[in-house]
């Protein structure tokens, strides 16, 4: 019996992968039964609210995508194709808006543009008044664009940093007109990067809850939340989630249709791309827009947060904030660790099993990132309520009654894992694809156990992917709001939920101090990840 057949029939990763896929996907399969529930508020939603939800959602998606992509492309082009003083600092500052959640930006700008705000007082002296657009769609577009442009910036930065200039040099030597070079060479090569960034920003915009809820903008995500809590109609909330899924599938089909026709650059080149050195006046001209972006997305919010934090701080609020910090770190650490562990098991099963049929089922958990947090929370809550009801006879034997599982942190952790599994899994999968299977198979040939091979052979070789996957998952989970609001137990408070509840209670000082802690923690992670990528020559 050869080594492949042995792995195929005896690998322990298969059983574990079945259990993992079942645990993560079963709530969604069970969620189909929600189709048969009563939806008393659905006719009212269709006749009065659905068109508003849809129009506002599409307006935000299109506008935020355009502004974020333009800012991200311009920033990446300047940073990666030109050389100037202050480039390293500017490049780092353009990363850091990732550390500030969009809902934090929203309440900071609402506060500072209100009648007692610092920026409002300054604008009034200049004869300007923007107070009329504070609670409006343009403000939401402004805030979400400032929050999401780094994703486009990172994508385009990778493209420009690793681009092959041979095609462009040959086109210049052949004296091909610039417009033709742009349409026949530049655009086809950058199209996959463009579509990936666009798809990600679109999903993040649709998934937003904190900004749109605070600014009172009715979108599909806010509608799901309101149908659940204000109208007490779970089924109608689920129907709105299905409309979101329909939009998701439509956009994904367009994406793959374009992506499959796109051109990939297979030419390998070690030539370092030429960087245009800018004179002082050119530096001012080209980088001023980027410094302004850093000012609005980073400097103003941080200064406002610090000033608000020191104005009226007290010991009681400090204690509650640090308790929330500890709970946040515990929940996030456990969830990120489980994501990495599950990713290792699933990827090992896929790379070592030589069966094509049924393998697609084990890739289903990666779709969680595309679903809105409210939808994930809705389905997981509904499923584990039913599990508690099923186990109620057992609870009575144990002299306990109530919703033991559904009101515990376990449901929230599992929801985190499902929602952000793709983030950690992608890093693990990419690293495993680079190293191949030869070292693993050699260890199996030498009769090393699966566990020893994983611990002493595989993990040391893919530690870069494990580290990147853990940090990226940690960053996403620590900023997550809607799922945490809906699924957290009554005695659990994270930094994100503390910020949101403090804002609603008009406790700006407490919300600001919690926001500062959240931004500091996330910034440290982002900077460490950026330095790790630069040190190890990975993007």
> Average pLDDT in the 155-181 region?
73
Q: How many CA atoms lie within 13 A of 418 on its CB side?
A: 27
| C-alpha to C-alpha distance for 186 and 208, rounded to whole angstroms | 32
pLDDT band at 274 (very low <50, low <70, confident <90, very high): low
Judge residue 272's burial from the number of C-beta atoms within 10 Å of its C-beta, 0-12 exposed, 13-18 middle, 19 or more buried: exposed
pLDDT number for residue 149: 94
> Average pLDDT in the 52-66 region?
93
Nearest Cα neighbor of 379 from 107, 26, 71, 45 is 26
pLDDT in tens, 330-381: 999 999 999 999 999 888 888 777 655 556 777 788 888 878 888 888 888 8
Protein fold of 1-36+312-539: MetI-like fold (1.10.3720)
pLDDT in tens, 116-158: 777 877 777 777 777 678 888 999 999 999 999 999 998 888 8
The dihedral region occupied by 269, where left means phi > 0, alpha psi between -120 and 50, and beta the remainder, is beta
> Average pLDDT in the 156-178 region?
73
pLDDT number for residue 142: 94
Q: What is the pTM of this model?
A: 0.85
CA dihedral (256, 262, 268, 273) positive or negative: negative
pLDDT for residue 3 is more than 50: no
Higher-confidence position of 7 and 232 = 232
pLDDT band at 165 (very low <50, low <70, confident <90, very high): low
**CATH 1.10.3720.10: which residues of the chain?**
1-36+312-539, 59-217+274-309
Higher-confidence position of 514 and 317 = 514
Q: What stretch of H or E contains 83?
A: strand 82-83
Non-local (6+) Cβ contacts of 400 within 8 A are none
pLDDT band at 7 (very low <50, low <70, confident <90, very high): very low
pLDDT number for residue 371: 82
The fraction of the chain above a pLDDT of 70, given in percent, is 87
With beta carbons less than 8 A apart as the criterion, state whether 384 and 27 touch: yes
How high does pLDDT run on average in the chain? 83
Angle at 148 between CA 329 and CA 105, to 5 degrees: 65
Judge residue 210's burial from the number of C-beta atoms within 10 Å of its C-beta, 0-12 exposed, 13-18 middle, 19 or more buried: buried
> Average pLDDT in the 432-457 region?
81
Domain 59-217+274-309 has CATH 3.40.50.1820: no
């Amino acid at each position: 019996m050869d080594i492949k057949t042995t792995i195929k029939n005896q690998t322990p990763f298969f059983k574990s992968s079945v259990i993992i896929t079942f645990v993560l996907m079963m709530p969604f399969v069970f969620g189909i039964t929600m189709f048969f529930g009563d939806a008393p508020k659905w006719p009212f939603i269709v006749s009065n609210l659905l068109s508003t939800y849809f129009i506002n959602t599409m307006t935000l998606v299109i506008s935020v995508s355009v502004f974020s992509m333009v800012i991200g492309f311009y920033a990446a082009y300047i940073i990666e194709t030109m050389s100037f003083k202050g480039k390293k600092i500017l490049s780092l500052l353009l990363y850091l808006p990732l550390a500030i959640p969009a809902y934090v930006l929203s309440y900071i700008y609402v506060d500072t543009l209100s009648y007692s705000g610092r920026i409002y007082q300054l604008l009034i002296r200049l004869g300007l008044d923007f107070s009329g657009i504070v609670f409006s769609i343009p403000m939401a577009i402004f805030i979400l664009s400032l929050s999401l442009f780094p994703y486009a910036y990172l994508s385009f930065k990778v493209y420009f940093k690793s681009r092959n200039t041979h095609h462009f040099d040959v086109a210049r030597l052949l004296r091909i007109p610039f417009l033709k070079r742009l349409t026949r060479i530049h655009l086809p090569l950058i199209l996959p990067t463009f579509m990936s960034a666009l798809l990600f920003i679109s999903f993040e915009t649709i998934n937003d809850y904190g900004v749109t809820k605070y600014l009172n903008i009715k979108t599909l995500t806010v509608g799901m939340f309101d149908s659940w809590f204000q109208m007490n109609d779970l089924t109608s909330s689920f129907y709105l989630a299905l409309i979101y899924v329909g939009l998701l599938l439509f956009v994904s089909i367009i994406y793959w249709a374009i992506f499959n026709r796109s051109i990939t650059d297979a030419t390998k080149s070690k030539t370092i791309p030429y960087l245009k050195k800018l004179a002082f006046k050119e530096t001012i001209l080209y980088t001023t827009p980027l410094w302004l972006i850093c000012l609005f997305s980073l400097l103003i919010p941080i200064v406002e947060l610090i000033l608000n934090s020191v104005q009226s701080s007290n010991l009681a609020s400090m204690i509650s904030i640090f308790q929330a910090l500890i709970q946040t770190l515990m929940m996030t650490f456990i969830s990120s660790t489980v994501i990495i562990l599950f990713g290792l098991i699933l990827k090992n099963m896929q790379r070592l099993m030589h069966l094509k049929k049924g393998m697609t089922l084990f890739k289903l958990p990666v779709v969680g990132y595309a679903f809105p947090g409210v939808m994930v929370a809705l389905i997981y809550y509904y499923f584990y309520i039913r599990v508690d009801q099923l186990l109620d006879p057992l609870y009575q034997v144990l002299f306990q009654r109530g919703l033991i599982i559904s009101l515990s942190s376990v449901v929230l952790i599992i929801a985190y894992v499902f929602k952000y599994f793709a983030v950690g899994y992608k890093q693990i999968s990419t690293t495993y694809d680079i190293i191949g299977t030869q070292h693993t198979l050699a260890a199996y040939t030498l009769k090393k156990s699966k566990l020893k091979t994983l611990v002493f052979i595989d993990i040391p070789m893919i530690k870069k992917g494990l580290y990147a996957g853990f940090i990226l998952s940690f960053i996403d989970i620590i900023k997550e709001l809607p799922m945490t609001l809906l699924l957290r137990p009554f005695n659990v408070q994270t930094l994100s939920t503390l910020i949101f509840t403090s804002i609603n209670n008009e406790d700006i000082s407490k919300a600001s101090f919690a926001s500062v802690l959240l931004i500091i923690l996330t910034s440290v992670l982002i900077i460490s990840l950026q330095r790790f990528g630069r040190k190890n020559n990975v993007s």
